[in-house]
Structure formats: C-alpha cells, structure tokens
Amino acid sequence: MRYELHYWPTIQGRGEFIRLALEEAGADYVDVGNGSEEDGLGMPVMETYLNGEATPFPPFALPFLKAGDLIVSHVANILQFLGPRLGLAPEDEALRLWAHGLQLTLADLVTEAHDIHHPIGSSLYYEDQKTEAKRRAEGFIKERIPKFLDYFEHVLEDNPKGDRYLVGDSLSYVDLSLFQIVSGLRYALPKAMQRIEADMPKVVDLVSRVAQRPNIKAYLASDRRLPFSENGIFRHYPELDEV
Amino acid sequence: MRYELHYWPTIQGRGEFIRLALEEAGADYVDVGNGSEEDGLGMPVMETYLNGEATPFPPFALPFLKAGDLIVSHVANILQFLGPRLGLAPEDEALRLWAHGLQLTLADLVTEAHDIHHPIGSSLYYEDQKTEAKRRAEGFIKERIPKFLDYFEHVLEDNPKGDRYLVGDSLSYVDLSLFQIVSGLRYALPKAMQRIEADMPKVVDLVSRVAQRPNIKAYLASDRRLPFSENGIFRHYPELDEV
C-alpha cells in the first residue's frame, strides 16, 4: 500500500505527526504537497479534494491521508487508522482507546502552542496581535506546558507496563507525537522549556530515545525533514519566551 | 450496559455531546457529575479518576466515559466508541472514518467558540480579556462560523445518500453534535447567527429535524437538559455579538 499524505508544502506543521509515523515504520508514502506539479502532485491535486471535486467526502482542512480509496482527515484520526497497519498501536481495545485519547490531548496542546502567536485570529498577521500573543504566551508557559507535560510524565510513571513508552510496552504513534511536540516547544520557547524539562525526566528520556531510533534518526538527518520555521505551528519569537 | 458519563456538574459544556447521543438512543446511563455524593457520585469520585487513584489510565480532562472497565476520554473518542453500540454510527469503515473526521472538525469549532470569550487564557476572568475577546469574536463571526457552517452545508448537499443526514442515510452522532453547536451558537451570538443561517438551509433543516426527534424532544423538555449559561462553552455576552 502506497499512502498519500496531503499537507501544505515547506512546513512541518500538523503533517509532521503523520510523517514521523510513516518514517518510523519505513512505509511507502508520497508527500503530495511537497511533490511537483509535473508529477501530478503539489497543491492543485490537493485542492481537488478540498473543494469536493475529487470526492464527496472533502476534508475541512489539511492534513488528510489517502489510502487506496479511503480518505482520512485529522491527525488523530489518521494515526488511529495507520497505527495498527504500521505496527505503531497496541492490539488491545482498551489500550487503543487510551492511545487515541492521549493523541487527542496532544492535539489540544498543539492548538494551544499555535494560538500563543495567533490568539486573536489565524487570518491576522502576528505583528497585529503581538501584545495579545505576549500575554497568552505567559499563561501558556506558566500553566499550560507544565500541566500537559506533567500529565505525560505521570502517564509514563504509572504505565503498568513500565515507564519506557506511553502506551503498553512498545513504541506507539503517541510516543512519536510527544517527541514532535517537545521538539517543537524547544524550538519555539527554548528558555522556558529548559526550565520546565528539568522536572520531566521520563518525558525527556522518551524524547531522546525516539530521536535515536534508526529510522527516525535517518529521517531527521534527511532533507525530507523540513526545518522548523516561523511559518509553522511552533515559532521562535524570542519576545514570547520567558526571560 | 450502564454507561457512566463523567463531566462537570451544572453546565452542558462538552458533556452535552455525549448526553445527546445517550438520550437519543435511550441508553442506560448515569450522569456522575450531577449525581449526589450520598449516592457515591459527584466530583469526589470523578477526582479519583483524574488523579490516577482509580486507574492507571487517567484522563487529562473531563468528559470521560466509563463503560464497564473501559475508560474513554475526549468527546470525539467517546462518540466513536458509543456510535456503533448505540446505533448512531454507519457500518461501513470509510463512513466511520468520515464521521470521526467530521466530529473532529466540530471539536475544533467548539474550541474556537470557547476561545472567543477566553482568547488570552482559560484561567483568567472574561472581564480581564474583554477587549481581546471582542476582537477575536469579530473574526469568528466574520470568517470562522461561515467557513465551518458552509462546509457542513456542502457535506449535506454532496452526501451521495441524500441531504437529510451528514453521514450516510440515517442519523449519526455527528448530526446530534451539529445540532448542539448550532443551538449553542444561536444562544451565544443570536444576531450573527440569524444572518449567517440564512445561507445554510440544509444545516438549519437538519437542526430542526433533530430537535423534533421524540427522544431528543423529550430530553430537551426535561430537567436533565441543563440550561445554556455564562459558565459554559457558548456564552451570551451581547457585546461580542454583531451589531
């Protein structure tokens, strides 16, 4: 099965959570958004799905995954779908529901991480909401990042199968997503994260182990791994970081 | 099976999406948050799950559902779990993925509807972010509500099985959730919604039909249906509505 990932070109964004799962599993996939129009890829083909021309089931937004005739939208939905197919989800129903719940919690954190630079509206420039962004970032750093990361620290600590993975005793897509979020937060808010991470040894250890997995390590070193930037979710605006 | 819904007492909030599904199906359920401590219900018992005392799989936040030994957190995850059990989800895998994607789009709309009155932070009072709220509400009314509702209008219009339901040819949990969101937006922003709805005949028709279903109608008239209020997601602050 050759999977098609449909997502904006040039940024990691929400597509990165899907890329990491596909790369870890060594899956066959096409990154449609970053492909060229000459090859029948790129924005034009994605547009035909978003505008309903190519399907009666148009996604509201990117990313979406195409797997044969199936179209799956939203990161958590895509990962829930891919997980069992890529060997990145537990077998047990209770644990699958648990993994999906954790992923949806991470999705909320991603939205909050985005909204620190766009608290008033996504269609406005950052420059037009800088004052509000500063205020929102303060609460995010002071209350929200610690609350979320402390939760995942406890999930690891209380995992009946040991503290190496978030779900069960082997790697799942949730571990990969936590890796991506911690990496993004480190890029966006390095000072705040340095302080906060000191209290989260199990999260930090998991993130390090994910980065060292052979397929992930090779991916991160490749040019398929797009850089973090100020066009993505995690943006480094030094004025939003703590002093 | 007696389901346990764990959610904050006195407000509809995110718990309402679950209540509507349980009520439509005539399911046996306990609304734990609104129960009394004398009966072993209320906040104390929910706390034991949130703090990890009662389970190694503690939800990050409310609502969560308990079904026998299973714990399921996040509205979309709960509805995906309940859907097939309550006869409120399609049989077909492609349509189930579609339904879950639609529900996750609705979840994003709910978050945005909440953030118009709390654009800077959930832990701050509305009064401390009124100016920012006014600005965020303007963009929400002008761009976001129309974009979301127009999307669902097209989903109905392009449904290969007809325009009566969002997914396939029968009621699903997604229809119930759209009903709740439109009801909430009407409560919060009556003037804006009156104008916007004029362009969304199929959405409006679906919402009316949901309200008239016997079990939903009886539920809405019962005292189990808590009122909308300024403690919930959809808050009526007239200054945020359009003039």
Q: What is the pLDDT of residue B238?
A: 98
Distance in angstroms (rounded) separating the CA atoms of residues A92 and A100: 12
Which of A120, A135, A151 minimises the CB distance to B139? A120
Under an 8 A CB cutoff, do B136 and A154 touch?
Answer: no
Which of A60, A104, A160 minimises the CB distance to B77? A104
User: A94 contacts in B (CB within 8 Å)?
Assistant: 57, 69-71
Under an 8 A CB cutoff, do A52 and B154 touch?
Answer: yes
Under an 8 A CB cutoff, do B160 and A77 touch?
Answer: no
Distance in angstroms (rounded) separating the CA atoms of residues B145 and B234: 13
DSSP per residue, A90-158: -SSHHHHHHHHHHHHHHHHHHHHHHHTT-SS-TTS-GGGGHHHHHHHHHHIIIIIHHHHHHHHHHHHHH
Find the helix or strand (DSSP H, E) in which A29 lies.
Answer: strand A29-31
Distance in angstroms (rounded) separating the CA atoms of residues A225 and B23: 47
Stretches in chain B below the pLDDT threshold 70: none
Under an 8 A CB cutoff, do A97 and B154 touch?
Answer: no
Chain-centroid distance of CA A45 in Å reads 23
DSSP assignment, residue B117? T
Under an 8 A CB cutoff, do A124 and B104 touch?
Answer: no
Q: What is the pLDDT of residue B71?
A: 98
Nearest CA in chain B to A137: B120
Under an 8 A CB cutoff, do A74 and B148 touch?
Answer: no
Residues A91, A30 contacting (CB under 8 angstroms): no
Q: How confident is the model over B44-101, as pLDDT tens digits?
A: 999 999 999 999 999 999 999 999 999 999 999 999 999 999 999 999 999 999 999 9
Q: What is the pLDDT of residue A243?
A: 83
Q: What is the pLDDT of residue B106?
A: 98
- Contacts of residue B152, defined as CB under 8 A and 6 or more positions apart, other chains included, come to B102, B166, B178, B200, B203
Stretches in chain A below the pLDDT threshold 50: none
User: A140 contacts in B (CB within 8 Å)?
Assistant: 121
Closest CA to A181 of A214, A227, A145, A133: A145
Q: What is the pLDDT of residue B243?
A: 83
Residues A22, A80 contacting (CB under 8 angstroms): no
Which of A73, A97, A123 minimises the CB distance to B72? A97
Distance in angstroms (rounded) separating the CA atoms of residues B54 and B200: 46
Residue whose token pair is 């492909």: A35
Q: What is the pLDDT of residue A104?
A: 98
Q: Which of A70, A96, A97 to mutate to test the interface with B (most CBs of B within 10 A)?
A: A97
